[in-house]
Amino acid sequence: MSGNQMGTNIAKALVEISKELLLVEENAVNPFHKAKYADLRAILEKAKPICRKHGVAIWQSPTSENGLVGVRTMLIHSSGEYVADRVVVEVKPTKGQYIQDVGSYITYLRRYSLAAMLGLATGEIDPDAVSPQPAPKKKVTKANEIKAGLLKLSKESTDAGISTGKTGVLVGLLNTSFGGDNGRKAFLKWLYGVNSIKDVEPAYQNALMRWLDADDGVPVQRALDSIKTIREELKL
């Protein structure tokens, strides 16, 4: 339940709580950030008696939605009025530690959401070792766009493959395009994760032939432009 059922009773109570609950002592040290902070236990030990004094209960529960995990926090007054909100984040778990990481995220969210709703200052900076980090933005380069296009072309290919003779032609074209055997292997490794044309699926080989669309052993201009970009990317 997000939102609120705000009334004069809980409004007055929160005003009184804010007068008494100004700062929670920093009782823990984060080894990653070398920063002191107030952990969840310290916040609850400080906040609960003051909230109880003014007829307010703290209620928190874990929640999930579309693969996200989160926490719902409510401040409930004895009159039945309440304020509530919910926060959810994406969990990026350490391999083999999904449950442990979910627990850490929930603790993190409980601490920050409760502190925010009570207007508390709990530390100088975000100290949590497990604080959710935004996913790094992957740099989109021209070579990556070409790679995505080639993989799409390969996966959409329904051809059975090419003849042994044409496989030799393809190897020759790739050698010419990428500066010899080593360049050809580097290209195949970059594109398909293999070193040999024999390890490339026949339909994918056909897709490469269509991409090169060679005339008299020379790739078409479109392919030549892409080859130049790929060689720069692979430093060939």
Same structural domain for residues 22 and 104?
A: yes
Residue 129: the pLDDT is 44
Q: Is residue 132 part of a domain?
A: no
Distance CA 167, CA 171 (A): 6
Q: Is residue 123 part of a domain?
A: no
Whether residue 220 has pLDDT greater than 70 = no
Q: Which residue has the higher pLDDT, 98 or 95?
A: 98
- The structure tokens listed for 17 are 């709580």
Q: Is residue 206 part of a domain?
A: yes
Same structural domain for residues 148 and 199?
A: yes
Nearest alpha-carbon partner for 203 in 174, 161, 144, 153: 161
Same structural domain for residues 12 and 114?
A: yes
Interstrand relation of 82-90 and 3-5 (parallel, antiparallel or unpaired): antiparallel
Same structural domain for residues 154 and 85?
A: no
Quick one: average pLDDT of 80-109? 83
Q: Is residue 109 part of a domain?
A: yes
Residue with tokens 């933005």: 137
Q: pLDDT of 157-214, one tens digit each?
A: 666 556 666 788 888 888 888 889 898 999 989 888 888 888 888 888 888 888 887 5
Q: Is residue 194 part of a domain?
A: yes
Same structural domain for residues 221 and 149?
A: yes
Distance CA 63, CA 190 (A): 41
Q: Is residue 131 part of a domain?
A: no
Nearest alpha-carbon partner for 115 in 22, 177, 227, 184: 22
Same structural domain for residues 8 and 111?
A: yes
Total length of the chain:
236
Same structural domain for residues 107 and 154?
A: no
Same structural domain for residues 7 and 113?
A: yes
Mean pLDDT of the chain: 80
Q: At what angle do helices 181-192 and 142-156 cross, to 10 degrees?
A: 80
Strand partners, 72: 61, 86
Same structural domain for residues 8 and 114?
A: yes
Rg (CA), the chain: 30
Distance CA 102, CA 89 (A): 10
Same structural domain for residues 199 and 109?
A: no
Q: pLDDT of 19-28, one tens digit each?
A: 888 777 666 6
Whether residue 4 has pLDDT greater than 80 = no
Residue 15: the pLDDT is 92
Q: Is residue 203 part of a domain?
A: yes
Q: What's the domain count of the chain? A: 2
Q: pLDDT of 141-158, one tens digit each?
A: 888 888 888 888 778 766
Same structural domain for residues 90 and 188?
A: no
Residue 77: the pLDDT is 94
Same structural domain for residues 99 and 202?
A: no
In the chain, the percentage of residues whose pLDDT exceeds 90 is: 17
Q: Which of 14-23, 40-49, 116-125 has the lowest mean pLDDT?
A: 116-125
Q: pLDDT of 115-134, one tens digit each?
A: 888 888 765 444 444 444 55
What's the domain range around 171? 142-234
